[in-house]
Chains A and B, each alone.
Chain A
Amino acid sequence: MELLSGADMVVRSLADEGVEYIYGYPGGALLHIYDAIFQQDKVQHILVRHEQAATHMADAYARATGKPGVVLVTSGPGATNAVTGIATAYMDSIPMVIISGQVMSHLIGEDAFQECDMVGVTRPVVKHNMSIKSPEEIPMALKKAFYIASTGRPGPVVVDIPKDMTTPTDRFEYSYPETVKLRSYNPVSRGHSGQIKKAVELLLNAKRPVILVGGGAISANASDLVTELAQKLNYPVINTLMGLGAYPGTDRQFLGMPGMHGSVEANMAMHHSDMILNLGSRLDDRITNATEKFCPTAKLVHVDIDPSSISKTVAADVPIVGPLDSIVTEMLKLVKASKIELDTEAHDAWWQQIEEWRGRHGGRYRTDDSEQMKPQQVVETLCKVTKGDAYVCSDVGQHQMFAAQYYKFNKPRRWINSGGLGTMGFGLPAAMGVKLNFPDEEVVCITGEGSIQMNIQELSTCSQYDLPVKVVCLNNQSLGMVRQWQDLNYESRHSQSYMKSLPDFVKLVESYGHVGMEVTKLEDLESTLEEAFAMKDRLVFINVHVDPFEHVYPMQVPKASMRDMWLSKTERT
């Protein structure tokens, strides 16, 4: 057997795991590992400009591919800088392995230079974490980390490695384990067939059904199956913010997104339905509105890989725990074999009602109340220019909601956003992570002038690694989402929600060697976007000046049911 140092074992284990890129930033505790990285060429290291960006790059790679992203950060400040990104991945169930350096074992607990209890700090925001106690453990620990991160309900796993575990002169026998088994961790491998049968009976007997598709369907790669099931039944489909793309966004059966900024037809249909087939949505507060008023007439079937997501916020009538792909496959089989006749009369009436709701609002917005371009117009034009087929990585704010509402995703894993934690600063590094791994695909970052400044330093990383993403900044000169709430609830007292002293973005990006463009008039929008996307190998930052007073609608009325919405600044349901 080969003898390797701990540092070499870290890098070799990653190579043997099939990892192509790791995202990181060096420091004292990692020097041995960085030296090992230098002496091989299997694993490529991407040097970011801030550790948070490393986590978002790895996270976006995972969202786009389903495979765990890998991050390498040093002890102390390097590790704490990564925490926001770890929490972001945790909230959206994204597989990720984070290797953090740690001070030497004998210094732990002595408040040594750059010591931080990373295992303690990250405990509430990881699926699991561990620290290495002896170098021989490294291959097995990493194998476990990848296994835990990517199976069951995926999530981030932190492996904390004290510097003395990686000393180059201490060598040990190395072999990378092929499999790993943990007696205390056995993700469910199939759903309960009795429960699945019950669910299918409810589904086939429903008069006003909806199929709700969450991020779990994307994570289980079950989009095709879900689409087949929905189309076989001709039932209306609603994708959550995390589920966008799981069911095609341009299809007639698609009603849009539910929840706080969901479409009228989606929220109305859910509220009035008599049966909800929930495939992998955890029904969080941004969807349900007041849980005690949630969908009063609906029977709820809830399919989830994580039992704790079921009946957490809303009690399920038929809970089914297990992998979504195999459960939907079984449902399809039962539906095809079933003798139950669908109540097509009831379904026709249901569709008629839904079309009426769709007609009531249908994603319209006012263009006559301002001289300036509307952010919705920008997203619609972007969707047109990219043929609805780009990877769209979003930051957080109004622009994120406009992107979710107006970019029509027909494929899963193309819409990449921080849904659960809502992390401003996510968009640009996420776009970089996708572009690096899909160099031939169109990758866009939709952002705001607020969010982009939270990780703008990564423009430098983009120059270094030649990452020609397109950044579309919906510049409303304000923290728009905050301002909207202040307009609605605080009599427009805009406390700290303005953005003064903005940089000249065009000059700024040019200083990094990229291309900057400015759009102020609607008539220039499409041609400028065309021009930008024609520059295949350049990063182009398009600063689009949009109406600073626009609000995101529909917007659910707080503490009410799903159907209670503001449709514009003046109309309510």
Chain B
Amino acid sequence: MRHIISVLMENEAGALSRVVGLFAQRNYNIETLTVAPTEDPTLSRLTLTTFGNDRVIEQITKQLNKLIEVVKLVDLTEGDHIERELMLIKVKAVGNQRAEVLRNVEIFRAQVVDVSSTVYTVQLVGSSKKLDAFIEVIEAANVLEVVRTGVSGISRGEKVLSL
């Protein structure tokens, strides 16, 4: 099963490589990874998505928790949560295609953020599934470039992950 693990950690040189190294060392997979400082510049928030059965996920969370720089972590998929990913995608847009692309942009509530005579650059925010779906409706031959940020997530309601 797919899990979104959200990690609060010290914003220190080397902390990120420790997380990434752990996954390589212990043969866990990382599907996506995003990391940036939080409102407190001494802390970073790292979100990763991974696949594994319950035993593997339990080991992943335990091993992450063992890293000295990790302050706290949560497996967001264990509760209600919001998941977002941002995608920038360059789509071939000539002739009839231009209107077709714009229609899909509207349906998906995406935005065209850059235009040239043959290309639309589209920005889309949503769950990873929604991003996948957009890529699917733009036929493969028309997709020129895809850049995705990887998943960020936060739990719903009062629950917060903080010091």
Contacts and interface: CB of A to CB of B under 8 A. Distances in A.
B57 to A, nearest CB: 12
A9 B59 CA distance: 39
Given A184-B70, A308-B66, A124 B25 contact: yes
A148 B68 contact: yes
A184 B69 contact: yes
Interface in A86-121: 119-120
B71 A184 contact: yes
Interface in B34-89: 55, 58-59, 62-63, 65-66, 68-71
Contacts of B21: 123-124
Please indicate which of the listed interface residues A124, A131, A148, A315 has the most CB atoms of chain B within 10 Å of its own CB. A124
A183 B68 contact: no
Query: Interface size class for chain B?
Result: 10 to 19
A182 B55 contact: no
A312 interface: yes
B14 interface: yes
A306 interface: yes
Contact of A183 (B14, B55, B71): B71
B71 A308 contact: no
B93 interface: no
B105 to A, nearest CB: 43
Contacts of A128: 68
Contact of A308 (B14, B17, B63): B63
B43 to A, nearest CB: 9
B62 A184 contact: no
A312 B62 CA distance: 10
Interface in B106-133: none
Contact of A311 (B14, B58, B68, B70): B58
A535 B152 CA distance: 69
B56 to A, nearest CB: 11
A308 B69 CA distance: 17
A185 B17 contact: no
Given A123-B18, A184-B9, A184-B10, A311 B55 contact: yes
A127 to B, nearest CB: 7
A119 B14 CA distance: 9
Given A184-B9, A184-B10, A307 B65 contact: yes
Contact of B68 (A184, A306, A307, A315): A184
Interface string B19-43: 0010001000000000000000000
B1 interface: no
A312 B56 CA distance: 9
A306 B55 contact: no
Interface string A129-160: 11100000000000000001000000000000
A210 B142 CA distance: 67
A289 B34 CA distance: 39
Query: Interface size class for chain A?
Result: 20 to 34
A249 B86 CA distance: 63
Given A120-B17, A123-B21, A311-B55, A183 B66 contact: no
B59 A312 contact: yes
B126 to A, nearest CB: 33
B74 to A, nearest CB: 15
Interface string A298-335: 00000000111001100100000000000000000000
Contacts of A307: 62, 65-66
A306 B63 CA distance: 10
B68 A127 contact: yes
Interface string A164-195: 00000000000000000011110000000000
A510 B22 CA distance: 48
Contacts of B25: 124
Interface string A182-221: 1111000000000000000000000000000000000000
B163 interface: yes
A184 B12 CA distance: 12
Nearest to A311: B58
Contacts of A184: 9-10, 68-71
A315 B17 CA distance: 30
A100 to B, nearest CB: 15
A311 B63 CA distance: 12
Contacts of A308: 59, 62-63, 65-66
Please indicate which of the listed interface residues B63, B66, B68, B69 has the most CB atoms of chain A within 10 Å of its own CB. B68
Contacts of B71: 183-184
B68 A182 contact: yes
B68 A185 contact: yes
Nearest to B22: A124
Contacts of A131: 14
Nearest to B25: A124
B130 to A, nearest CB: 35
Contacts of B70: 184
A248 B140 CA distance: 70
Contacts of B14: 119, 129-131
Contacts of A130: 14
B96 to A, nearest CB: 53
Interface in A523-539: none
Contact of A306 (B10, B58, B66, B69): B66
A8 B163 CA distance: 36
B58 A123 contact: no
B163 A183 contact: yes
Contacts of A315: 55
Contacts of A129: 14
Nearest to A125: B25
Contacts of A124: 21, 25
A182 B68 CA distance: 9
Nearest to A312: B59
15 contacts: A123-B17, A123-B18, A128-B68, A130-B14, A148-B68, A183-B71, A184-B9, A184-B10, A184-B68, A184-B70, A306-B66, A307-B62, A308-B65, A312-B59, A315-B55
Given A308-B59, A315-B55, 13 more contacts: A123-B17, A123-B18, A124-B21, A128-B68, A131-B14, A182-B68, A183-B71, A183-B163, A184-B71, A307-B66, A308-B65, A308-B66, A312-B59
Interface of A: 119-120, 123-124, 127-131, 148, 182-185, 306-308, 311-312, 315
Which 4 A-B pairs rank lowest in CB-CB distance, beginning with the nearest?
A308-B62, A184-B71, A128-B68, A124-B25
